Amino acid sequence: GFLLPKDFIPKWWIWGYWISPLVYGYNALAVNEFYSPRWMDKFVMDKNGVPKRLGMAMLEGANIFTDKNWFWIGAAGLLGFTIFFNVLFTLCLTYLNPLGKPQAVISEETAKEAEDNGLPRETVSNGSTRRNGSTRRNGSMKSKDGSNN
């Protein structure tokens, strides 16, 4: 997307302007840039012939807030959106169920070993037939070299 200047947004859509994190970041960056000395040390004439600082003229021309505090308002807004979306994401992961049927991915070696032990391939979950280099057979653990542990 792209940003529309606040004055060009219809009144019934102004809520979309204020809930966009992009607006807060853009305003903070613009205010920080145009208040720097390279913009504020130069003067231009406004339409009434009165000298005005170039940085202020650029901010007003782009319909950006001219108060210097908008840098901190934008930074706080971005921090607030970050915290809000992280909390929302965490709550969604905690309380929502995943879509579809969960399926385990097992290696071909594990599947072959399970089939050799007489288990159908569909009932094997990853690592269920193999633990720490050993296989489970008839309730006892046997290592690869054949000795009991």
Evaluate if residue 85 carries a pLDDT over 50: yes
Cα(133)–Cα(140) distance, integer angstroms:
14
How confident is the model over 74-80, as a mean pLDDT? 96
The answer on 80 and 60 residing in a single domain is: no
Quick check: 9 and 17 in contact, CB under 8 A? yes
Quick check: 46 and 59 in contact, CB under 8 A? no
The answer on 93 and 53 residing in a single domain is: no
Cα(29)–Cα(77) distance, integer angstroms:
13
Which helix (H) or strand (E) is 51 found in, with range?
Answer: strand 51-53
pLDDT category of residue 63 using cuts at 50, 70 and 90: confident
Please state whether beta strands 130-131 and 51-53 pair in parallel, antiparallel, or not at all (unpaired).
unpaired
At 2-13, the pLDDT tens digits run 778 888 889 999
What does pTM read for this prediction? 0.62
- 125, part of any domain: no
What is each CA distance from 55 to 10, 22, 66, 114, 117, in whole angstroms?
Answer: 27, 21, 9, 72, 77
- 84, part of any domain: yes
How confident is the model over 97-105, as a mean pLDDT? 79
> Which residues constitute the domain of residue 79?
67-99
Q: How many distinct structural domains can be found in the chain?
A: 2
The answer on 82 and 52 residing in a single domain is: no
At 132-149, the pLDDT tens digits run 444 444 444 444 555 554
The answer on 50 and 37 residing in a single domain is: yes
- 136, part of any domain: no
The answer on 51 and 86 residing in a single domain is: no
Among candidates 131, 127, 133, which has minimal Cα distance to 106?
Answer: 127
The answer on 94 and 72 residing in a single domain is: yes
